[in-house]
Amino acid sequence: MKQDYIVLWSEMARIQLLDKAEYILAQSQSNVVAEQFIDEIERLADKLSYIAPAYSDGKFHLYPLKNGHSVKFLVVGNYVMIYAFLPKGINRHSRQKCWFFCKLCL
């Protein structure tokens, strides 16, 4: 498969991912486990580069990664912009609980 798209994380998405990794670190007391989580999520998100042409419609999309975690992304030119990391358990459709600007919640 040819990889034509570059996957980039927004600052907000990166912070959300690191917050989840920090929670995992606190629960597991293991830097290795937290680092493996980050590496695996980034590796899975990089696969967006292969399917990006199907989503180049100028709209935000959700992409499930693993264990209920997902990312909200937008394809712009040759880039896949990850706008938000959505950890498992986040209610994406409730104004009270939505912690990012979600078109579904506006």
- The pTM of the full predicted model, rounded to 2 decimals, is 0.78
| Tokens coding 13 | 């998405």
Write the pLDDT tens digit of every residue in 1-10.
Answer: 556 899 999 9
For the chain, the C-alpha Rg in angstroms (whole number) is 14
Is the pLDDT assigned to residue 104 strictly greater than 70? no
Three-state DSSP class for 32?
A: helix
CA distance 104 to 92: 8
Q: pLDDT-based confidence at 88, cuts 50/70/90?
A: confident
Rounded to 5°, the CA angle 39-11-79 comes to 75
CATH fold for domain 6-86: YaeB-like fold (3.30.2310)
Three-state DSSP class for 27?
A: helix
CA distance 13 to 95: 19
Mean pLDDT computed over every residue of the chain: 85
